[in-house]
Amino acid sequence: MCDEKQSEKVDENVDEKVNEEEAQRTAHDEYIASLAARLADLAAKGEEVLESLGKKVDDVDAAYDKGAADAQAKVDGFAANMQEHMEKATDQLAKDLDVISRAIEERIGKPASEEDATPYEPRFTPAAQAFRECMQVGAHSDLLFTDPEFVERFANFAFDDVVSDVDLPNRTRFICWLATLLGCQGVDEFRALLPAALNMGVEPEAVKEIVYQAAAYLGIGRTYPFLKATNDVFMAAGVELPLKAQATTEPTEESRYAGGEEAQVACFGEQMHGYKDRGAADYPHIAQWLVKNCFGDWYTRGGLTIPEREMITFCFIAAQGGCEAQLKAHTAGNVQCGNDREFLIKVVSNNVPFIGYPRSLNAMAIVEEVTGAKE
């Protein structure tokens, strides 16, 4: 009986072990199947990724091919366009050369007259030629070749008649000419004359002060081109910029008012004390600006004396015309600071070649009006 029970127990243990092994095999098989499924899923996704990458590569290749084709088309178009322009330019050059060649042939075949054989040579007076040589400029002017008669007549008048008849120091003469050219907006002549002014004793600082002060009487729109021209000439002449500072007032209202009033008194007399407070009721700022800006910012600077500053102001106003009331005031200012009637007549006369007779005669009439009664 005992043996039967033991045998049954052994069988039960064997069955349990078999069942356990079977369960393990089943679990193992299920795990293997799960791994296989995951691998199959990864393989499918990998194929999708590879397919997507392949499409992107194809798209990139296509875009590159299109870009390359477009670039090549542009290059080909540019080359064709350049070829067309070159052919046209070559044709035009051939035509131009043909015209020139025929003109030369005609010229050579034509009997040379005395006028053709000898180009016009300007006949400068000895005084005009001597002054031109002193200026050390103008010898290579294009106008000597294109307009020799004009150069002859202008130079003989400006550099002989005017210089001989109007007794002014050369420095003063050129300061007046530069200021006058600013006033009449003769920037090309200003540029041409400025090297001569430097050669004739006008200091770079004086030139800059003439241009700076013009801003108060002509405005920046008409002054700016002359500032650029001055800098160009200075750099060509080896003048180091910026120049030494010339301001004597500080950029404060107190300093500008004080300096401006002092300059006004020097030009117009003691009655100018307190001028900043005597402006019109509806635009009092104009009188204030005249004191602190026109006089306080500019007349107080170095480089030019007060009489020289009044002189260039007279030149600015006379040259621009249409400012007779202001020209009267500054004629009186010139006389007040020492530039008398005789001197102003010389200044006006000196400037005739550069502003012409009408404005010169207007200026002379105002000098006569302001100073005539005192003579």
Domain chopping of the chain, boundaries: 1-60, 70-99, 121-165, 170-246+301-374
Q: Which residue has the higher pLDDT, 7 or 356?
A: 356
In this prediction, residue 281 has a pLDDT band, given cuts at 50, 70 and 90, of very high
* CATH code of the domain occupying 170-246+301-374: 1.20.1290.10
In this prediction, residue 86 has a pLDDT band, given cuts at 50, 70 and 90, of confident
Q: If you average pLDDT over residues 64-85, what whole number do you get?
A: 77
pLDDT reported for residue 42: 82
pLDDT reported for residue 314: 98
Instruction: Evaluate if residue 28 carries a pLDDT over 90.
Output: no
Q: How many CB atoms lie within 10 A of CB 224?
A: 15
The dihedral built from the CA positions of residue 336, 338, 340 and 345, taken in this order, carries a sign that is negative
Instruction: Evaluate if residue 110 carries a pLDDT over 70.
Output: no
Identify the CA nearest to 132 among candidates 154, 116, 165, 115: 154
Share of the chain above pLDDT 70, in %: 89
Q: If you average pLDDT over residues 135-162, what whole number do you get?
A: 89
Instruction: Evaluate if residue 189 carries a pLDDT over 80.
Output: yes
pLDDT reported for residue 29: 82
Instruction: Evaluate if residue 133 carries a pLDDT over 80.
Output: yes
Cα(294)–Cα(264) distance, integer angstroms:
10
Q: If you average pLDDT over residues 204-216, what whole number do you get?
A: 98
Query: Residue 198: CB partners within 8 Å, gap ≥ 6?
Result: 204, 207, 233, 237
Instruction: Evaluate if residue 374 carries a pLDDT over 70.
Output: no
Q: If you average pLDDT over residues 230-250, what whole number do you get?
A: 97
pLDDT reported for residue 375: 44
Instruction: Evaluate if residue 145 carries a pLDDT over 80.
Output: yes
Query: Residue 334: CB partners within 8 Å, gap ≥ 6?
Result: 307, 310, 311, 314, 343, 344
Quote the tokens at residue 57: 């590569």
In this prediction, residue 107 has a pLDDT band, given cuts at 50, 70 and 90, of low
Instruction: Evaluate if residue 221 carries a pLDDT over 80.
Output: yes
Say which DSSP state 288 is in: H
Q: Which residue has the higher pLDDT, 137 or 360?
A: 360
Reported pTM = 0.70
Share of the chain above pLDDT 90, in %: 64
What's phi and psi for 283, nearest 5 deg?
A: -145, 60
pLDDT reported for residue 138: 64
Q: If you average pLDDT over residues 350-374, what whole number do you get?
A: 94
Cα(163)–Cα(153) distance, integer angstroms:
14
Q: Which residues pair with 341 in a beta bridge?
A: none
pLDDT reported for residue 19: 81
CB 65 within 8 A of CB 72: no
Quote the tokens at residue 53: 């990458």
pLDDT reported for residue 140: 66
Q: How many CB atoms lie within 10 A of CB 76?
A: 10
Q: Which residues pair with 283 in a beta bridge?
A: 280
The lowest-confidence range among 67-81, 100-114, 142-156 is 100-114
Cα(264)–Cα(261) distance, integer angstroms:
5
269-278 pLDDT tens trace: 999 999 999 9
Average pLDDT, the chain: 89
Query: Residue 215: CB partners within 8 Å, gap ≥ 6?
Result: 223, 298
CB 181 within 8 A of CB 187: yes
